[in-house]
Amino acid sequence: MTTARQPGIPHPRLPLPDGPEDLAVFQQWLGEAIPMVNALGIKGMTQQNDALTWELALTPSLNDKGTGFGGALTAQTTLQGWCWVTLWLRAQGISRDVVVAEANQRFLAPVTDDYRLVCTPSQPQGPAKLAAKLDERGKGRIALTQQLYCGQTLCLEANGSYVALPKA
């Protein structure tokens, strides 16, 4: 049984994987580390190449109009970017703190059913630049794009800048 999180007390880090990341284990840890994750409706995560994809249920994020609540969708995009950087670092064998530096979103269509959220680097050379900055300065930044699809309809596009902080 997990104990409730307390303000000011960091959650223990998930050990770095010896091989490919087990995303189910990562998602379980994420729900313990950030309690609101369990209320976001994340049904599953997959990674392929530079894309992190989440499948989400709409019901936990419904607004008064019966569509996706913008605040919940924004939280999901921000968290997904944080996860993308954290998982990328873990794949490199690096354990670092990650923070969001800035984020914005454009709402393009209402979210009316379960949906998928896809996070990718905003520029193809983004991961290589992040790696170079980490080697050079011990910290680095990457721009990511999150796209929310309800069926084939692009409903939301978000952009964020995330920072991998220096070793503590």
Query: How sure is the predictor about 51, in pLDDT bands with cuts at 50, 70 and 90?
Result: very high
Per DSSP, 111 falls in state: -
pLDDT, residue 168, reads 77
pLDDT over 90 (residue 2) = no
Please give the Cα distance from 95 to 164 (Å, whole number). Answer: 9
pLDDT, tens digit, for every residue of 116-155? 999 999 999 999 999 999 999 999 999 999 999 999 999 9
pLDDT over 80 (residue 4) = no
Please give the Cα distance from 89 to 79 (Å, whole number). Answer: 15
pLDDT, residue 102, reads 97
pTM, two decimal places:
0.95
Per DSSP, 30 falls in state: H
Query: How sure is the predictor about 6, in pLDDT bands with cuts at 50, 70 and 90?
Result: confident
pLDDT, residue 1, reads 47
Give buried/exposed letters for 56-81 (b at 16+ CB in 10 A, else e).
bebeebeeeeebbbeebbbbbbbbbb
Please give the Cα distance from 98 to 162 (Å, whole number). Answer: 7
Residue-range domain boundaries for the chain: 54-164
pLDDT, residue 138, reads 95
Q: Which CATH number fits domain 54-164: 3.10.129.10, 3.40.50.2020, 3.20.20.10, 1.20.140.10?
A: 3.10.129.10
- Across 45-70, average pLDDT: 97
pLDDT, tens digit, for every residue of 64-119? 999 999 999 999 999 999 999 999 999 999 999 999 999 999 999 999 999 999 99
